[in-house]
Amino acid sequence: MKRYISNLNGNEKVIKTDVLIIGSGIAGVYTALCIKPHINITILAKEEIDISNSALAQGGIAVSLGEEDSPKYHKDDTVYAGAGLSDEEMVWIMVSEARKNIQDLCNLGVNFDMKKGNLSLTKEAAHSQRRIIHAGDFTGKEVCDKLIAAAEQKNNITMREKTFAIDIITEEGKCRGAVVLDQKEGRQIIYECSHVICASGGFGQLYKNTTNPTVATGDGMAMAYRAGATLTDLEFVQFHPTALYHEKNKSFLISEAVRGEGAVLKNSRSELFMEKYHELKELAPRDIVARAIFSEIQKSGAECVYLDITHKDREYLKNRFPKIFATCLEYDIDISKDYIPVAPAEHYCMGGIKTDSLGRTGIDNLFACGEVACTGIHGANRLASNSLLEGLVFGHRISQEINSAVKKTKNGTPVTRKSTTKWGSFKRPRSEYEKEIKDIISTHAGIIRNGIGLKEAKKRTGAILGELSDSRCRSMAQCQVLNMATIARLVVSSALKREESRGAHYRNDYPNPQESWKCNIICTRKKVNDETFEFND
């Protein structure tokens, strides 16, 4: 694997900024808004500025506001869902700083649903209290829209669309910027800066069925890995139990909040089944609900199960879940009287770039937050509606670190470099590689795994990387394929290493959790062609 996959000729345009943020979701834009106004910031969006996983988030944001709730209870629920691997110190930081960051969103004009003058609270799976604030069933879009609108008014923030980050530039162990493909101009550009914040999202597009947008190809994790950053917990991939299952749409999310408001799951024979799998039934942790649905589908031979919320009033459903109600109607499903066909789909990766409590990655001046980062909060299984909160809390923490540390970028020795690598061409069409990666990962690193399949997946992803290792990435699509192959190899290697079942990682050849595996699997790249795994107790 090459350290850099960009191919520079030494004549690239260089743009200077103080802070470069890769990603335009909630984590990236909120961080920018928290940075002092005298610091110049550039936000890069791979596609349009409003396309991100954040914008698709339906359910809401968890925060302990109820009279009977407390940050301690929120922490306890998070740690329980994390199946023994959550970093409790990091969890406490998140839950104890939640309220302030939510107030900041309200001050920016985010229109959360209200009830009797207070923020309306709902309940989701594995939460012991009603603590999910929401904006209908399009919370992520409402928050993103307001954050982007606020950023557009800031003179120190520049947002650039269709700019794809290819490589993080490092010199002597310090991050100095990034190589970026400007898709509008069709050329590579070097951004030189004092700090880079990676907020590029997850890797859902490794799977055939995912609730993630097409931009979620693991680019940030792959860039950071090539640069020498540590990745951790990549084997823990969360499948949302209830994605719409329709021949025309298998990626639309049916929010967990629907079950939080009383919806029940039924199999193809219209039988309730969750009580067989967990005492919390429909509100059990996501990994348990997803495996229960998977099991029912396998036993019946059906393609899906059904979500039933027909006991709720039609007007209530239209008002509480407007996006879900309208989308289902497009497919002739009236959720007030029809069951909703659902099946699990990849939704969120708990692992990512390892960071500390200030978002630092181990590479000087490189930070990460949001789904691309691994703070250790989610452990082996993310608690519902903690993802947006994590991005807010740690994005704010990164901003405070940058506010005290950043120095204006000055003219100096440019970071421009020439590529000395002799590049070849892709041996097969890019689409063939992408299809093969999706087939391998969906088959062998899905909801249920085993050693035989994971060994096969490791062999095949290794072969793909071998084919791509000397290839010139002439386009964003080709860079994405190389990034997908890199992360796919690390996911299956990590899953193969973990010889137990824990949280979202389930192996039918090791079906039980083991105390000896109560540790993190760390992926590091210490040398140019070295892939090393370490274990942290």
Judgement on whether residues 338 and 461 belong to the same structural domain of the protein:
no
Q: Give me the pLDDT at residue 408, please.
A: 52
Residue 512 and residue 498 share a domain: yes
In a domain, residue 199? The reply is yes
CATH classification of the domain holding 163 = 3.50.50.60
User: Considering the domain boundaries, does residue 415 fall inside one?
Assistant: no
Given phi > 0 = left and psi -120 to 50 = alpha, else beta, which region is 255?
Answer: beta
Question: Which residue, 47, 44, 50, is CA-closest to 162?
Answer: 47
Q: For the domain that residue 243 is a member of, what is the CATH number?
A: 3.90.700.10
Q: Are residues 362 and 222 in the same domain?
A: yes
**In the chain, which stretches have pLDDT less than 70?**
1, 407-425, 471-472, 526-537
In a shared domain, residues 111 and 228: yes
Asked whether residue 424 is assigned to any structural domain, the reply reads no
Is residue 5 domain-resident?
Answer: no
Q: Quote the DSSP letter at residue 383.
A: P
Q: Are residues 204 and 110 in the same domain?
A: yes
Catalytic residue among 131, 176, 226, 286: 286
Tokens of 26: 């909630």
Q: Are the beta carbons of 344 and 211 closer than 8 angstroms? A: no
User: How high is the pLDDT of residue 478?
Assistant: 87
The whole-number pLDDT of residue 526 equals: 64
Give the pLDDT confidence score for residue 412 in this predicted structure. Answer: 46
pLDDT at 137: 86
Nearest alpha-carbon partner for 23 in 235, 156, 180, 173:
180
Q: Using the Cα atoms of residue 114, residue 119, residue 124 and residue 128 in order, give the sign of their dihedral.
A: negative
Q: Is 460 a catalytic residue?
A: no
Q: Is residue 257 part of a domain?
A: yes
Q: Which string of DSSP letters, residue by residue, matches 205-231? A: GGSSSBSS-TT-S-HHHHHHHHHT--E
Which of 295, 323, 346 represents a domain boundary (last residue)?
A: 346
User: 276 and 154, same structural domain?
Assistant: no
Q: By residue range, what is the domain housing residue 449?
A: 430-523
CA distance 255 to 50: 20
Q: Residue 504: which CATH number?
A: 1.20.58.100
Please check whether residues 71 and 29 belong to one and the same domain.
yes
Give the other-Cβ count within 10 Å of 3's Cβ.
Answer: 14
pLDDT for position 244: 96
Q: How wide is the angle at C-alpha 219 spanned by C-alphas 217 and 222, nearest 5°?
A: 120
Kindly state whether residues 320 and 192 are assigned to the same domain. Answer: no
Count of H-run helices and E-run strands, the chain: 15, 22
Q: Which residue has the tokens 């690390």?
A: 490
| Among candidate residues 346, 364, 383, the one where a domain is terminated | 346
> Is residue 40 assigned to a domain?
yes
Residues 226 and 261 in one domain: no
In this predicted structure, what is the pLDDT of residue 436?
97
Angle at 484 between CA 465 and CA 61, to 5 degrees: 155
**Are 271 and 286 within one domain?**
yes
> For residue 93, what pLDDT is reported?
98
Q: In total, how many domains does the chain have?
A: 3
pLDDT at position 414: 54
Q: Do 141 and 259 fall into the same domain? A: no
pLDDT for the residue numbered 531: 44
Round to whole Å and give the CA distance between 298 and 303: 8
Decide which of 306, 331, 346 is a domain's last residue. Answer: 346
The C-alpha angle 7, 9, 15, rounded to 5 degrees, equals 90
Does 205 lie in the same domain as 110?
Answer: yes
47 within domain boundaries: yes
Does some domain include residue 160? yes
Q: Quote the CA–CA distance of 471 and 458 in Å, as a whole number.
A: 20
